[in-house]
Structure 1
Amino acid sequence: MKLGRLNHIGIATPSIADSIAHYRETMGATQITEPFDLPAQGVKVCFVDTPTGSDGSGGMNGTQIELIEPLGEDSPIHGFLAKNPAGGQHHVCFEVEDVAEARAWFEGQGKRVLGPTRIGAHGTPIFFLHPKDMMGQLTEIMETPRDH
């Protein structure tokens, strides 16, 4: 298994609309996707593109900020926000070429995988690793999108 690029940093928020305003007004972000619901995961998400290269262009080649808002009380993000009402860093996401191979690699090392492999917000297979096995950080492993 080979570590891929840092795809995104997940930020839990009680309000995507307020967070979008913050990234636009305070951070000067210009490329933000339209929020969309992921009912299977109980969240609403959108992505803030960060600049890449000297021309400042963003997009899928740059690391993104994933803003995550709970869809309801059942959302896994709801518990995080109960402990962190203002929101905050929720997870980091790394790309891999083959998510099944990566899952087997981590399981072979005795790392705890949280739940089944499923389709994530980028439309590719993902899984999460327990923070206690990853230096205190919830870690998402994502298969690199084939069109990028």
Structure 2
Amino acid sequence: MKLGRLNHVGVAVPDMADAIAYYRDVMGAALITAPFDMPEQGVKVAFVNTPGEHDTAGTQIELIEPLGETSPIAGFIAKNPAGGQHHLCYEVEDIEAAREWFTAQGKRILGPTRIGAHGTPIFFLHPKDMLGQLTEIMETPREQH
């Protein structure tokens, strides 16, 4: 199994409009995707695109806002009212091979493989097994958001 590039850093936010304004007005981000709901995951998502070397896509910031009180992000926001870094997401070529490899390494996988915000399969690894960091593993997307 070979770990790919850091695709995005997930940042939980209490208010999507405020977070977009911050990245646009304070951080000078030029490309921010329109927010979209992912009811199956209980979140609203928008991506802040950062430039990479030689006009390639850089690492994205994934803004995630809870959709209702039962959202998995709602508990994070309750503990961190201003929001904050939620997870790191790395790409892999083959999601099932990665799942098998992490399982063989004794890493705990949180839930089933499912489709993420980029439209590709993802799964999460328990923070206690990943140096204290919630880690998302995603299959490399064919097209970037």
TM-score grouping bracket, smaller chain normalisation: over 0.9
1:35 corresponds to which residue? 35
- Once residues 20 and 97 of structure 2 are traced to their aligned partners in structure 1, the CA distance between those partners, rounded to angstroms, is 35
Task: Give the share of equivalent positions with the same residue, in percent.
Answer: 74
- Once residues 103 and 146 of structure 1 are traced to their aligned partners in structure 2, the CA distance between those partners, rounded to angstroms, is 20
SS in 2 for 1:29: coil
Q: Give the ranges of 4+ consecutive aligned residues of structure 1 lying more than 6 Å apart after TM superposition.
A: none
Give unmatched runs, 5+ long, in structure 1. none
Higher strand share: 2
The question of 1:74 aligning with 2:106 is answered no
The question of 1:106 aligning with 2:102 is answered yes
The question of 1:126 aligning with 2:122 is answered yes
- Once residues 145 and 21 of structure 1 are traced to their aligned partners in structure 2, the CA distance between those partners, rounded to angstroms, is 27
Distance apart, 1:97 and its partner CA: 0.1
The question of 1:117 aligning with 2:113 is answered yes
- Once residues 106 and 84 of structure 1 are traced to their aligned partners in structure 2, the CA distance between those partners, rounded to angstroms, is 29
User: TM (normalized to structure 1)?
Assistant: 0.94
Distance apart, 1:16 and its partner CA: 0.8
Deviation by residue 1:9-53 (Cα, 9 ceiling, x = unmatched) = 000000110000000111000100000000000000000001112
Give unmatched runs, 5+ long, in structure 2. none
What is the root-mean-square deviation of aligned Cα atoms in Å? Answer: 1.1
User: TM (normalized to structure 2)?
Assistant: 0.96
SS in 1 for 2:58: coil
